[in-house]
Structure formats: C-alpha cells, structure tokens
Structure 1
Amino acid sequence: MSEIPLEHVHVAPDDDPAGKPAVFVLHGRGADEQDLLPIAGELGDDVHVVSFRAPDPLQGGYTWYELDLSNGGLHQSQPDPEDFRRSLDAVAESVSAAVDAYDLDPDALGLLGFSQGAITSLSLVLESPETFAWVVGLHGYLPDSHTDLDPDGIVDKPVFIGGGTGDRVIPIERVQGAAERFEELGADVTSETYPVGHGVGPDELADVVAFVDAHR
C-alpha cells in the first residue's frame, strides 16, 4: 500500500481483523520480508502480521544498514549511523501508517526482529517505548548509539532476548549485554540462550510463542 513507506507483507487474522493486535517483523541482513513469516505464523491466527522489507538491496535480499567495521571486524561491528537513522525512522513511520491502514489495536503492537532486525527492534523500543507493548529481539545486540538511552515507559516493558551459544555472527556476549542493559532500565526481561548458531531453533521458537502469547 502506497501510504506505508516500507514494502511489506500483511497477513490478517482469520476472522474479524478490525482492532486486533499486531506484530511488526524485521528480518536480518540479506533476507527479505518473507523470511520470518514461518516464525510469525506460529503466533496465533488472531494477530496481524506486518513484515517489513529493509530499504537497501543486498545479495539477493535486503539490509537495514551498512556495517561500521572500524571497531575491529564483524563481531564488533556497529550500524552505520546515517543508514541506521534512516531505517529507524522508516520503520517508525511505517508502523504508524499501518495502524491506520489495517485498523490495528494501537495499544497491542509488538516488534519481532532477527539479527539486524533485532538490533533495529531493540533500539526502536528504547526510542518509543509508548508505541510498543512488547519486543522480541533474536540474535541481536543493543548498538552503542542506544546504550545510554533511559526513556520513560521502559520500566516493566516485556522484552524477550534470545541468542545462540554457537552464533558466529552475533556473539552471545553481545546478546547478553543487551539483556543486562534492559534489566538495568527496569524492563521485564526474559533472556534465553540456546545451543544453536545464527538461526532460530525449535526451542527458541517455542519460547518466543509462549512469551508473545503471555503479553499480546
């Protein structure tokens, strides 16, 4: 739909979609808006799924931002500031537009992101905690640009952070660092680690489904 800035896929609830809760889905680097639909599809048939496509083409998929590798390579990378700001604003604008376009419940909006999408999602909920009822960040971290934010409204916010002990893209220490920061801010944090690499296994998926079911 032209009034929503980011290209996306919308999957409506099976019955009476007006005023239902929604999850906004943000994929990882090099993927697209279809990538996380199997995960989002497990969240129930009474939830709107709005899966956004990142703005920049990359390797047959898309990316939310280029990487700043000046800290010493992939494991210590940060988002390119200009790209990251552009994507954060595009997601925020697209969420607002989708609420109107699809008649979503504005008090029941969640974010679910993987990798770059998790980094973006965790940052967005710190920038605008009043917009989102909960957030799931899988195999991502909190970038330096957002670690010092201490917004009103983050206290008791349900936050799920998951990572893999065998992840060679996002080290588990960075995932745990994000969880620790949200705990310091007083969020209601569920933090789990899994014996997986850079991907979501069945145990992680089951925990995400249980988390969302409890908070949506």
Structure 2
Amino acid sequence: MKTENKLQAIYIPAKEKGQGKSPVIIALHGVGSNEKDLAEFASSLDPRFAVFSLRAPLVIGAESFAWFQVRFTAEGPVHNREEAEQSRRLLKEFIKDLKSHPDVDARKVLLLGFSQGTIMSLSLGFTEPELVRGIVAIGGRTLQEISQGVVPDGTVTSTPKVLLLHGVHDNKLPLFHAEATAETLKKAGFAFNFKTYNAGHEITPEMRDDISEWLKANF
C-alpha cells in the first residue's frame, strides 16, 4: 500500500476573528474515509476556531485512507504498530509546522478525532501533551503500547483537557474501550469529561451540541 510522507489537509479559516491568531481544531477522520469527512462538521462547532481537516497517510482505496492498518479478530483489533507510530510522528510534525502559519496559533491546538482519528489524537496527547490544549475523542480507543507507556500523575507539567464521547451500542469499538481510555486519562492526571450516548459507531447531533458547549466553556 502507498503511504504519503506528508499530511494533506483542508484549511478553513475562523469565521470570527479575535485579536491575534486564531485557535485551531485539527480534525482526524476514521479508517476508510478522507479529509472531507470532518471538515464541515469541525468548522460548525465554534466560529472562533480555524480548522485543518487532515488526510491520513495510508492509501487503502479511491478517496479512502487510514492512519494504520488494523484487523478485527475474536481477541480484539490487531493493528500495525509501525504504521501507527509513523502517523503519530507525521501528526506531531504537522502541529510543529503550524508555528510558521500566519493566521493560526500553534499554542492553541485542539484535536478532534473519530474512530481511528481518535486513536491518533489520544496517541499524540499522551506522548506529546505539551503540543495540544484539548482533545475531543469520539468512538475510539487507546493503543496498548501507548497506555502501557503512560506515567502516573505529576510527571508532566501540562496536559490537554479531554472530552471523551462514545456510543453505548458501538459494535465496531465497544464501550469498554472508552472506559479503559478513561482509566488511562485518570492515571495520567488529565482533566477529562466522559459521556456516553444512545448511539452506535457514529457522531450524533447530541454529540455535536455537547462538543460546542464544551469548547465554549473551556477555551
């Protein structure tokens, strides 16, 4: 499979400009989708934020991309660790490169992920917490190698706020994945809110409203 060595993105400027540069939401889609999937959704959440909706680097089909390959087995999902780490590094570099952007504030970055995009958001948040101010994590999980490397509260000086959302009827990544992530967040000392919904593996209008309220209350 072909893998891109640089992340491509749709950029949507903030609808409401304040003094100085705009805070920014970086949207990360799920497996099999592309950068168009979350662009409009992310830009509708809070007019103060600019949006970068990223395309995952692994090409798996026409207009279809992934952050890493994964197989769903009876024992649970089995992922390609090397590809996941490569994508994490590309995401890290993308955020660092925002320092040179004329309109967005690289010190005020929030990650918005769905499914595999949530996995990548959490991977970066746990390993590079100083790079992000917040994470909206929808319908995902934390990779085992990431959760195993998390150190107890008190060892990092800055951690992002996290909004963890999950459907109780999710049959792709069942609810216990989100519950395990909540335990990892607690162990690491992150401030987080965890909410479940009468939903499957999806983003619902109720989730959208809750994300908007959380952004306004916390940023």
Structure 2 stretches of 5 or more lacking a match? none
Which residue number in structure 2 is paired with residue 202 of structure 1?
A: 205
Q: Is residue 10 of structure 1 aligned with residue 11 of structure 2?
A: yes
Q: What is the TM-score with the length of structure 1 in the denominator? A: 0.89
Which residue number in structure 2 is paired with residue 109 of structure 1?
A: 109
Q: Is residue 152 of structure 1 aligned with residue 156 of structure 2?
A: yes
Q: Which moved more, 1:165-174 or 1:16-25?
A: 16-25
Structure 1 stretches of 5 or more lacking a match? none
Q: What is the TM-score with the length of structure 2 in the denominator? A: 0.88
3-state SS, counterpart of residue 31 of structure 1: coil
Q: Is residue 29 of structure 1 aligned with residue 23 of structure 2?
A: no
Say how many residue pairs are matched.
Answer: 209
Aligned partners of 1:159 and 1:67: how far apart in 2?
25
Q: Which moved more, 1:88-97 or 1:60-69?
A: 60-69
Pair 1:141–1:154, CA change in 2 (3 A):
farther
Percent of matched pairs sharing the same residue? 25
Deviations 1:69-120 (A, max 9, x none): 5xx44x7114311100110011111111133134421221110100000000
Which residue number in structure 2 is paired with residue 91 of structure 1?
A: 91
**Runs of 4 or more consecutive aligned structure 1 residues displaced over 4 Å after TM superposition:** 15-18
Which residue number in structure 1 is paired with residue 54 of structure 2?
A: 52
Higher strand share: 2
Deviations 1:150-173 (A, max 9, x none): 261355x31111111111101011
Q: Which moved more, 1:194-203 or 1:54-63?
A: 54-63
Aligned partners of 2:182 and 2:16: how far apart in 1?
36
Which residue number in structure 1 is paired with residue 81 of structure 2?
A: 81
Q: Is residue 136 of structure 1 aligned with residue 136 of structure 2?
A: yes
- Give the root-mean-square deviation of aligned CA atoms: 1.9
Q: Which moved more, 1:175-184 or 1:133-142?
A: 175-184
3-state SS, counterpart of residue 214 of structure 1: helix
Aligned partners of 1:46 and 1:189: how far apart in 2?
22
1:122 deviates by: 0.6
